[in-house]
Amino acid sequence: MKPIKLNTIAAVAALGLVLGVMTIGTVKADSFGSGNNTFSIDFVNVGNAGNADDAGAGGGIYSSPYGGVGYNYQVSTYEISQNDITKATNLGLANVTAGAHTGDEPAANISWYEAAAFVNWLNTSQGNQSAYNLTFSGSWSMTLWGASDQATTGVDSGTNPYRHKDAYYFLPSEDEWYKAAYHQNTGVNADYWDYATGSNTIPTNVVSGTTSGTAVYNGVSSPEPTDPADVTLAGGLSPYGTMGQNGNVWEWSESAFDGINNSASENRPFRGAHWDTTQTENYLRSSYRVSLDPSLEGDILGFRVASVSSIPEPSGVLVVLVAVGAGLLRWRARRSL
């Protein structure tokens, strides 16, 4: 057998780096529940840790200063569906109403607190720490975590009193949501698209489907659609492989509207627009954001979830690749004897 050459080792190392940091599309499906109430949530990797906020460098004209995230994480491929809420409710999730739509259509009529309660259920059903310090007594409320429990993720710097440091699942912060939707996924840079379909070209509006460059907005049938599309038929993908971050339903993010998570009752932002005929393309743009009190809800407002990443940070990847390279070199030396 011929010895492995150094350029082969370099190719293996490069492949490892691509697989470890730049994987695109669904990479895992986490299962929840049991029996007839089993459901799964697909996740994509969002790598390129340490990228900068949107600076318009990608050529877009609607840039806004969001999207810089200093760590790898994962975000759900699709919006959370009504089926997901229904099955979790059958298994003990309480005080989360939703119900605006049915089946695999997105869960809506859901407040920020209810979305956070679903995320907590995802965590506790798997034996993990709750993400949010919620209380229900006729209505939902939240208390900030104490200093020893606060996460260092979901914020630009310092600690995040909204999110517990040991939570595995959480609502994406505004930066995490924005990056998954608009970042070009071409490295650690400030290059973003204007739309969550990987383009600065206005998406084609459709009732449903998965064609690249499409989004479910500004209803195109007559009479207008009365419901959003199924979450798996909500338009073209973002560069990281998420679907429906433009159109279908607006989506809550974790953050306070002012970006400083020091008030449990402050308005929460939502982005992306919904399927209705009044939702013209400007609502899809990376620059467009609105907010509501976290206790309010509507049939046009849903959410997706995020999780801790299984991707090694860049330094960890390099350590693994160096070890693999060293092993291959030793094997090559033995074979050459």
**CA nearest neighbour of 313 among 20, 60, 15, 5:** 20
Q: Chain centroid to CA 148: how far?
A: 26
Q: Could you tell me the two tokens for 130?
A: 């709750």
**Same domain assignment for residues 223 and 134:** yes
**Same domain assignment for residues 30 and 116:** yes
**Same domain assignment for residues 273 and 194:** yes
The residue with greater pLDDT, 59 or 71, is 71
Percentage of the residues of the chain whose pLDDT score is greater than 90: 77
**Same domain assignment for residues 211 and 319:** no
Alpha-carbon span 287 to 306, nearest angstrom: 22
Q: Using 50, 70 and 90 to split pLDDT, how confident is the model at 7? A: very low
Alpha-carbon span 225 to 247, nearest angstrom: 13
AA identity, residue 123 = N
**Same domain assignment for residues 87 and 189:** yes
**Same domain assignment for residues 233 and 320:** no
Return the CATH number at 153. Answer: 3.90.1580.10
Q: What is the pLDDT of residues 214-265, one digit of tens each?
A: 999 998 876 778 899 999 999 999 999 999 999 999 999 999 999 999 999 9
**Same domain assignment for residues 283 and 185:** yes
pTM of this structure: 0.87
Alpha-carbon span 99 to 83, nearest angstrom: 10
Contacts of 158 (CB under 8 A, 6+ apart): 152
Q: What is the pLDDT of residues 182-198, one digit of tens each?
A: 999 999 999 999 999 99
**Same domain assignment for residues 267 and 248:** yes
**Same domain assignment for residues 5 and 108:** no
**Same domain assignment for residues 168 and 128:** yes
**Same domain assignment for residues 229 and 289:** yes
**CA nearest neighbour of 74 among 35, 43, 105, 32:** 43
The residue with greater pLDDT, 11 or 25, is 25
Alpha-carbon span 11 to 16, nearest angstrom: 9
Q: Could you tell me the residue range of the domain that residue 277 belongs to?
A: 25-310
- The domain tally of the chain equals 2
* Range of weakest confidence among 87-91, 155-159, 210-214: 155-159
